[in-house]
């Protein structure tokens, strides 16, 4: 078994993607491989959360580091129970109705769920 360093193994494999694949989640999508159904579930469960302000000019993209001023929310148990790959992540809902899924240890965005993603 390989040791993981800096979030990736020696081949550059993202351990979250490996975990997602092990949990039966398609990993061809950018981010952690959330399916359309997963994104609908996330938005249905946490889309009503109040938005958090983010400093102007802060990048909102997968891999971007979020500012320390952006307060993160714990992922609800109901979401973690349905989508196991989310168990180690937190989230923030932004003023534009976008939900960012964040690795709290690195404060980096690992996936993004838009309001459009959340509607069937």
Give the tens place of pLDDT for each residue, 55-66.
Answer: 999 999 999 999
Domains of the chain, residue spans: 15-113
Q: Give the CA angle between residues 105, 107, 110 to the nearest 5°.
A: 100
Q: What is the mean pLDDT of residues 95-104?
A: 96
**pTM for this model (two decimals):** 0.74
Q: Buried (b) or exposed (e) across 96-114, using 16+ Cβ within 10 A?
A: eebbbbbbeeeeebbbbbe
Task: Classify domain 15-113 at the CATH class level.
Answer: alpha beta
> What is the average pLDDT score of the chain?
81
């Amino acid at each position: 078994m390989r040791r993981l360093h800096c979030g990736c193994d020696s081949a550059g494999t993202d351990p979250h993607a490996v975990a997602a694949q092990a949990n039966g989640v398609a990993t061809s999508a950018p981010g952690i491989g959330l399916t359309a159904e997963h994104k609908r579930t996330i938005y249905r469960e946490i889309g009503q959360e109040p938005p958090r302000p983010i400093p102007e000019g802060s990048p909102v993209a997968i891999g971007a580091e979020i500012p320390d001023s952006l307060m993160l929310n714990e992922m609800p148990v109901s979401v973690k129970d349905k989508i196991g790959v989310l168990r180690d992540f937190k989230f923030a809902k932004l003023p534009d109705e976008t939900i960012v899924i964040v690795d709290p240890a690195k404060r980096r965005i690992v996936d993004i769920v838009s309001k459009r993603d959340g509607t069937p």
